Amino acid sequence: MKSARPRTVGALLVALALLVMFALAACGETKNSSDTGSSTQSQQGASSTASGANPDAPIKKGLKTVSIPKQLGNPYEEYEHSGIDEALKELGGSNRITGPTDAGASTQIPIINAAVQQKPNAIIIAGNDPNAVAPALKQAAQRGVKIVGMDSDVAPEARSVFINQVTTQLVGEGQVKSIAKEIGNKGQIAILSATANATNQNAWIKVMKEELKKPEYKDIKLVKVAYGDDDDQKSFQQTQGLIQAYPNLKGIISPTTVGVAAAARYLSTSPQKGKIKLTGLGFPNQMRKFVKNGTVDEFQLWVPKDVGYLAGQAAAALVSGRITGKEGEKFKAGRLGDYTIGPNGEIVLGPLTTFTKDNIDKFDF
Amino acid sequence: VQAETITSPDAPPVAGAASPRDWRRVLGRWETLLIALLAVLAVVGQLISPEFLTTDSFTTGSLDLSEIALMALPLAMVIVAAEIDLSVASVLALSSALMAYLWNHGQPVETIIPICLIAGAVCGAFNGVLVTRFGLPSLAVTIGTLALFRGLAFVVIGDDSVTDFPVTWTDRAFGNFAGTFVPNTIVLFAVLAAAFAVLLHATPFGRSVFAIGANQEAAYFSGLRVKRIKLILFTLSGAVAALAGVVITLRNSTGAANVGQGFELSAVTAVLLGGVSIFGGRGTIAGVILALFLLGGIQKALLLSESISSYWIQIVTGALLVGSVLGPNLARRVAGARRRSRSQQEEDS
């Protein structure tokens, strides 16, 4: 412990820095230089699905799949993944659900790697981050594991097909149709959205506005888009505000689960209960009492379990060679019927499911 | 079992001939215990899944742990000096976010990496200045900067993630070294581990770190520049955490502010499980490396099991953390009690 210390430390620090620099030796690409990855990567991905599909191939026996939610302990996702279990059981196979305990960008990678070692036929994944999981999924695909994206997509070159619960177009169309039916195609309506910059909300609202231009909706007038910020209290107050500001308001669309529940809660205790119609995207468990007490006639959403079920069926079809993931290929998805693969390997579950007092008790989510 | 096999180095020599004493010393080393635990893990892991003892497990398991492994090296030195740095995972995230930001603004990766390392060093130095110049406890300071740096990361890049890093770089971070099954990131770790082992165990600087950890007052009065050394340690910790941030960004080809949440827990666990005393003054880099193998192995075994939920990884990590602090403590108490009873007997006779 003499005075040579600082020099030694300095030398070591410099050495460390140099080592790091050498270990990560250079070649000078920037974002703007032409070749940034995805192009070369997609070529690799495409070649693995080159062989043709045989729609009549028998379903492989004893199918084993692993499904990876974004995070364990989320009731919505558990319900969604129970659909995969159902599909696999129906086809004589089995599914195992395994996932990370938090939804960080890279937390699914160890799970994928371990799943691959167990040699399943397919992995069904709802990606936390589309690209972080891509290298691990591509490696899995190289070892013959089929990859199905579900719910939130992963990089297209890292999976064969993606099960989309709904499209923007279908949400916009479905919601307008629902409110038009409730108010008899006539009168003022308002939209209670989440935040003003929520991408999905704004895309849906844009479609709704396009829809309202159609001749059959000519007597419906959209008077206001209000924002409840996906906050229960604020959505409640915004509903109140809408009703005070527009005495002739006939209906409200709230395409957010928080908003529609708050609006229903306000309406259920107001004199306008049953007079002002409400629809939106909601969870049956949150909306059940408002449907039963007459506040809400109907609302919509996709059925998460069906998303999983379709993913399970698609995985089985992929493994058995009935589909390869190319656009235009068709397959039969058990109780849900026939599906066609769309552009970019996307399979859309279908139009929104409408929940009314007649069918709501069949759903528990 | 633990209490018997671990005797702290400062315990008085046990009566008996010279050779059994040496034998006992080897047995009593924490590293020996870790090797024994690794052997047990190998058997248990193989029982859980026949896939456990494969090169595949090593490749993916070590890749998954590479950032934590990198961060554990300087953290071990910080803890030997009787301080702690809980902000490492947040520095990693800030580095990842910064990388994403700079890449989006047209910088080449070759420029981004040194900038990230410098930014990490600045973060570390910030911790170091608060601890050494303002005399604040590092536990409080780094819990604060844990939140602060993570928050900054979100300010830099928001909820976005940037993903179009060049393949040459992402392949480097994801790939294996020269056709072997050893990931490149682990080669990087090995190089740094060797450097840190030399720094801690074979330089005057390393000796002074031990001296500070064992008794800061004494170290100060024997002329060591305590504050300066600690400042260097925190700076190193920040820089290496930023390097880990670069690695995780390229390895996942994703720069985002939410990466590595909770990594500080795993890194601290690796260090303490590696036999570094939480009270400072004791520990080896070799022990930390063994502990990393143990942690990675346990994680892999749990993941490979078809019936154990991944919640158990957290439970086991937590239990190991408590156990590795409790173990030596109990051992010391037992040794102390024995010593007392022995001196009692001698007085009686």
- pLDDT of res. B284: 96
Label residue B337 by pLDDT band (50, 70, 90): confident
Q: What is the mean pLDDT of residues B29-36?
A: 91
- pLDDT of res. B287: 96
Using an 8 Å CB-CB cutoff, list chain A residues near B205. Answer: 5, 8-9, 12
Q: CB-based contact (8 Å) between B194 and chain A?
A: no
Least confident interval from A150-154, B13-17, B110-114: B13-17
Which tens digits make up the pLDDT trace of A39-59? 333 433 333 444 578 888 889
| Count of residues making up chain A | 365
Label residue A227 by pLDDT band (50, 70, 90): very high
CA angle A85, A91, A92 (to 5 degrees): 90
SS3 category, A235 = helix
Using an 8 Å CB-CB cutoff, list chain B residues near A43. Answer: none
* B222 pLDDT more than 80: yes
Q: What percent of chain A has pLDDT over 70?
A: 86
Residue A326: C-alpha distances to residues A48, A158, A313, B175 (Å): 12, 14, 16, 29
Nearest to A52 by CA among A281, A324, A237, A283: A324
Q: What percent of chain B has pLDDT over 90?
A: 71
Q: Where are the alpha helices (DSSP H) in A48-118?
A: 75-90, 108-117
Residue B51 to residue A36, Cβ atoms within 8 A = no
Residue B82: which residues within 8 A CB-CB, separation 6 or more? Answer: B212, B213, B216, B279, B280, B281
Q: What is the mean pLDDT of residues B270-285?
A: 95
Q: What is the mean pLDDT of residues A276-293?
A: 95
- pLDDT of res. A265: 96
Which A residues in the span 79-108 are in contact with B, Cβ-Cβ below 8 Å? Answer: 96, 98-102, 104-106
* B40 pLDDT more than 50: yes
Q: What is the mean pLDDT of residues A249-272?
A: 95
Residue A16 to residue B165, Cβ atoms within 8 A = no
Which tens digits make up the pLDDT trace of A310-320? 999 999 999 99
Using an 8 Å CB-CB cutoff, list chain B residues near A114. Answer: 60, 300, 303-304
Most B-contacting residue of A117, A143, A145, A152 (CB-CB within 10 A), to test interface: A117
- pLDDT of res. A1: 44
DSSP secondary structure, B7-19, as one string: --TTSPPPSS-HH
Using an 8 Å CB-CB cutoff, list chain A residues near B211. Answer: 1
Label residue B308 by pLDDT band (50, 70, 90): confident
Q: What is the mean pLDDT of residues B298-317?
A: 88
Q: CB-based contact (8 Å) between B306 and chain A?
A: yes
Global pTM reads 0.79
Residue A202: C-alpha distances to residues A172, A197, B123 (Å): 10, 7, 39
- Spatial distance between the Cα atoms of B119 and B243, rounded to a whole number of angstroms: 10
Least confident interval from B11-15, B175-179, B222-226: B11-15
* B346 pLDDT more than 80: no
* B171 pLDDT more than 70: yes
- Spatial distance between the Cα atoms of A282 and A255, rounded to a whole number of angstroms: 8
- Spatial distance between the Cα atoms of A327 and B64, rounded to a whole number of angstroms: 35
Q: What percent of chain B has pLDDT over 70?
A: 93
Residue B260 to residue A104, Cβ atoms within 8 A = yes
The alpha-carbon gap from A169 to the nearest alpha carbon of chain B, in Å, equals: 24
* B88 pLDDT more than 50: yes
- pLDDT of res. A40: 39
Q: Are strands A161-164 and A187-193 parallel, antiparallel or unpaired?
A: unpaired
Which residue of chain B has the CA closest to A100? B310
ipTM value: 0.78
* A147 pLDDT more than 70: yes
* B66 pLDDT more than 50: yes
Q: Which residue has the higher pLDDT, B9 or B159?
A: B159
Which tens digits make up the pLDDT trace of B125-157? 999 999 999 999 999 999 999 999 999 999 999
Residue A118 to residue B259, Cβ atoms within 8 A = no
* A3 pLDDT more than 70: no
Label residue B160 by pLDDT band (50, 70, 90): confident
Residue type present at position B345: Q
* B5 pLDDT more than 60: no
Label residue B330 by pLDDT band (50, 70, 90): confident
Q: CB-based contact (8 Å) between B254 and chain A?
A: yes
Mean pLDDT taken over chain A: 87
Q: Considering Cα of A194, then A199, then A201, then A202, what sign does the dihedral take?
A: positive
Which residue of chain A has the CA closest to B103? A31
Q: Which residue has the higher pLDDT, B8 or B247?
A: B247
SS3 category, A34 = coil
Which residue of chain A has the CA closest to B228? A6
Label residue B329 by pLDDT band (50, 70, 90): confident
> Residues A67, A125: contact at Cβ < 8 Å?
yes
Structure tokens at A57: 């191939």
Q: CB-based contact (8 Å) between B42 and chain A?
A: no
Q: What is the mean pLDDT of residues B217-228?
A: 95
Mean pLDDT taken over chain B: 90
Q: What is the mean pLDDT of residues B237-264?
A: 94
Q: Which residue has the higher pLDDT, A192 or B26?
A: A192
- Spatial distance between the Cα atoms of A323 and A55, rounded to a whole number of angstroms: 7
> Residues A325, A160: contact at Cβ < 8 Å?
yes
Task: Measure CB to CB from residue B64 to each of A96, A104, A109 and give the nearest one.
Answer: A109
Most A-contacting residue of B67, B258, B311, B313 (CB-CB within 10 A), to test interface: B258
Q: Which residue has the higher pLDDT, B18 or A48?
A: B18
Which A residues in the span 138-157 are in contact with B, Cβ-Cβ below 8 Å? Answer: 155
Which tens digits make up the pLDDT trace of A12-47? 555 555 545 544 444 456 776 544 444 333 433 333
